């Protein structure tokens, strides 16, 4: 028992961090919240609610039974895939609420949009009435976000939209996604790496990393633009294959000039090290983790010229209008020509300029730089 007059150490906040796909999927949500839990666990009384068991994860009891029951309930007129997701979130919210009733917390921090709506209704009935923090990882308009939650924005655009819509500034906060930049370094020399991967040193390699699908990621657009390049450049597409017909199309049109695969997260850094440029053809993103990852290694990136990507990269020379047919192909042709001549198409300073950009990104997005900001989300005054 402490002596009289000795200050007692304040109790650490009890925080429940939840992303229902952890252990089931490798989407950005899951990697983001897994990394966040790893960063903050030493500082908080933290439990990580996940979709599948694993070290440091918690799956609420009764989830399977509630999932079967929830699947029978109407959840609105939505497409099949999203309807299944909403059923999953409903079941998870009910199971998690029952678990929190037995083992209370102070704060619930969620990122799945439908789950946040379920929790918004359930948390006021739980012991201690835990407050809800919602990470707006989909850049939803604020009127679609849970009304009784503190809104954590991960990009500048959604914050500004919320404030322009008249939402109280004290209910909104911008803290970007973090990136474990040390994870994407590659110690293997580039020449040895390319030799192991069967790529000759002089070959121009264009990389795409992300879900292999037409909507949103626009892999079909990149195939169209790449097909017009002369010679034998290589398009390396890596990510979860969601559209097999797209793979067949790429192989039919490009033949030996394309490779399609799904690398483990631990090997993605090798892809950044062996490529000459990465293309990200999406016209919008809730954040764009792979862009920050690639740029942090010094790999140039071509992305869409929009306010969000200008905020994200801080590098307008790497942005083009991806909506205009032909522009990407023209830019790749210029880069390919410069590569063949041993030049630096992005900046006369070449590697030094890219190293400077990587250093700026580390200051903005490396997890250790963001730790204090994330801890402040759980301070008592954050409402």
Of 52, 48, 43, which is closest to residue 25 (Cα–Cα)? 52
> Cα–chain-centroid distance for residue 50?
17
**pLDDT tens digits, 266-290:** 899 999 999 999 999 999 999 999 9
Asked if pLDDT for residue 382 goes beyond 60, the answer is no
**Rg of the chain over CA atoms, in angstroms?**
23
pLDDT on residue 5:
60
Residue 350 backbone zone (phi > 0: left; psi -120 to 50: alpha; other: beta):
left
Asked if pLDDT for residue 56 goes beyond 50, the answer is yes
pLDDT on residue 79:
62
Confidence of residue 383 (pLDDT cuts 50, 70, 90): very low
**pLDDT tens digits, 333-348:** 999 998 888 766 565 5
**pLDDT tens digits, 230-265:** 999 999 999 989 999 999 999 999 999 999 999 988
Place of tokens 């200008």: 310
pLDDT on residue 341:
80
In the chain, the domains with their CATH numbers are 14-178+366-376 (3.40.50.2000), 182-365 (3.40.50.2000)
Region of poorest pLDDT, from 73-77, 101-105, 225-229, 261-265: 73-77
**How many whole angstroms separate alpha carbon 54 and alpha carbon 223?**
38
Using an 8 Å Cβ cutoff, are 224 and 323 in contact? no
Total-model pTM: 0.89
**pLDDT tens digits, 192-207:** 999 999 999 999 999 9
Q: What are the start-end ranges of the E strands in the chain?
A: 14-18, 45-49, 57-58, 107-110, 131-136, 150-153, 172-174, 205-209, 234-238, 258-261, 277-279, 301-304, 319-320
- % pLDDT > 70, the chain: 92
**How many whole angstroms separate alpha carbon 26 and alpha carbon 48?**
16
Using an 8 Å Cβ cutoff, are 106 and 15 in contact? yes
Mean pLDDT of the region 344-370 = 81
Q: Which of 31-35, 130-134, 238-242 has the highest mean pLDDT?
A: 130-134
- Checking 60-65 for CB contacts under 8 A at 24+ apart, the result is 60/92, 60/95, 60/96, 60/98, 60/99, 61/95, 61/98, 61/99, 62/95, 62/98, 63/91, 63/92, 63/95
Asked if pLDDT for residue 129 goes beyond 60, the answer is yes
Place of tokens 């678990």: 99
Confidence of residue 70 (pLDDT cuts 50, 70, 90): confident
Confidence of residue 150 (pLDDT cuts 50, 70, 90): very high
């Amino acid at each position: 028992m402490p002596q009289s007059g000795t200050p007692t150490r304040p109790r650490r906040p009890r925080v429940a961090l939840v992303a229902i796909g952890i252990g089931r999927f490798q989407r950005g949500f899951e990697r983001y919240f897994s990394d966040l839990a790893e960063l903050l666990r030493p500082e908080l009384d933290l439990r990580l609610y996940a979709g599948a068991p694993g070290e440091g994860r918690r799956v609420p009891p009764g989830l399977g039974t509630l999932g079967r029951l929830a699947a029978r309930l109407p959840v609105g007129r939505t497409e099949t895939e999203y309807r299944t997701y909403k059923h999953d979130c409903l079941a998870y919210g009910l199971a998690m609420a029952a678990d929190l009733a037995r083992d209370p917390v102070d704060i619930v921090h969620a990122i799945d949009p439908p789950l946040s709506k379920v929790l918004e209704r359930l948390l006021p009935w739980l012991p201690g009435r835990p407050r809800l923090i919602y990470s707006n990882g989909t850049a939803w308009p604020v009127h679609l976000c849970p009304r009784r939650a503190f809104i954590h924005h991960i990009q500048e655009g959604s914050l500004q939209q919320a404030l322009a819509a008249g939402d109280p500034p004290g209910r909104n906060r911008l803290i970007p996604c973090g990136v474990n930049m040390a994870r994407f370094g590659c110690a293997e020399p580039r020449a040895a790496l390319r030799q192991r991967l069967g790529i000759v040193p002089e070959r121009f390699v264009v990389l795409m990393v992300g879900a292999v699908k037409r909507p949103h990621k626009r892999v079909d657009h990149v195939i169209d633009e790449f097909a017009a390049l002369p010679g034998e450049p290589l398009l390396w597409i890596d990510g979860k294959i969601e559209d097999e017909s797209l793979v067949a199309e790429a192989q039919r049109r490009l033949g030996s000039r394309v490779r399609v695969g799904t690398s483990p997260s631990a090997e993605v850094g090798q892809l950044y090290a062996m490529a000459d440029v990465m293309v990200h053809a999406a016209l919008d993103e809730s954040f764009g983790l792979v862009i920050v990852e690639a740029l942090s290694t010094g790999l140039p990136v071509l992305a869409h010229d929009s306010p969000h990507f200008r905020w994200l990269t801080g590098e307008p020379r790497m942005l083009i209008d991806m909506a205009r047919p032909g522009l990407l192909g023209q830019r790749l042709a210029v880069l390919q020509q410069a590569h063949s001549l041993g030049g630096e198409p992005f900046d006369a300073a070449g590697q030094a300029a890219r190293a400077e950009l990587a250093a700026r990104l580390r200051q903005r997005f490396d997890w250790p730089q963001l730790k204090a900001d994330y801890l402040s989300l759980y301070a008592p005054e954050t409402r």
